[in-house]
Structure 1
Amino acid sequence: MSAAIDIGTLVTRSPDIGHGRPVITGTGTSVRRVVVLYKQGANAEEIARRMSHLSLAQIYAALAYYHANRDEIEVDLAEEDAEYHKLAGLHSKRV
């Protein structure tokens, strides 16, 4: 039997990885990246198939983090979207 995993250790933050955003421990994959797929309609099993370097437990940990900290992640996603549109607007003015 394998050792039990403390689920609180599956998502971490470090200023050195992902600009301090929550990431799945040991992977560099952000919770935000998992959430984007989830919000596009993918369930945990589908996300695990697409991101084969992650276990199903890691996917569920990321989704649990999102649901427990929805406002934080939604603000981060909105800021990223706004930055994308700003840069796209600057690029389209040059063309």
Structure 2
Amino acid sequence: MALAPILAKSYIEQRETGYWVVGTRISLDSIVYAFLDGESPESIAQNFPLLSLEQVYGAIAFYLANRKLIDAYLEAGEAEFQQLQQDCKEKNPLLYEKLKAAQAQKHNAV
């Protein structure tokens, strides 16, 4: 009895406005940013113990095959984050300064 190979397997699914590893709550963004920061697939898999190495490679392959689309999606997300950050700064400058100080303290501790 010969086994038939899997010709195509989906590793990424789109839910609402985001991309996720199939069957998980792990975003494609997380994997792509780690990959773009120079992490190896093996390192990424270690940092996300719920993912198999196959899933990490599948996510990276999806990104590479759809690079223009995903880069535009990531840029839109970054722009939205910047806008939210600016809104927070304008609505509650004291809270914003406390958050920035806490972030700087955390960064200096590392």
Measured against the shorter chain, the TM-score band is 0.7 to 0.9
Question: What pairs with 1:1-95 in structure 2 (closer than 5 Å)?
Answer: 6=6, 8-14=8-14, 17=15, 19-94=16-91, 95=93
User: Aligned partners of 1:86, 1:70: CA distance in 2, in Å?
Assistant: 24
Deviations 1:11-31 (A, max 9, x none): 2425xx3x2533222113222
Aligned residue pairs total 90
**Cα deviation, residue 6, structure 1:** 3.1
User: Aligned partners of 1:85, 1:69: CA distance in 2, in Å?
Assistant: 24
Query: Does the CA contact (< 8 Å) of 2:12 and 2:28 recur in 1?
Result: no
Structure 1 pair 29–78 and aligned structure 2 pair: CA distance change class (3 A): same
Structure 1: tracts of 5 or more residues without a match: none
User: Aligned partners of 1:11, 1:54: CA distance in 2, in Å?
Assistant: 11
TM-score normalised by L of structure 1: 0.80
Query: Does the CA contact (< 8 Å) of 1:11 and 1:24 recur in 2?
Result: yes
Deviations 1:40-79 (A, max 9, x none): 2211011000001000000000000000000111011000
Between the two proteins, what is the percent identity of the paired residues? 28
User: Aligned partners of 2:44, 2:4: CA distance in 1, in Å?
Assistant: 23
TM-score normalised by L of structure 2: 0.70
Q: Secondary structure in 2 aligned to 1:9?
A: coil
| Max Rg structure | 2
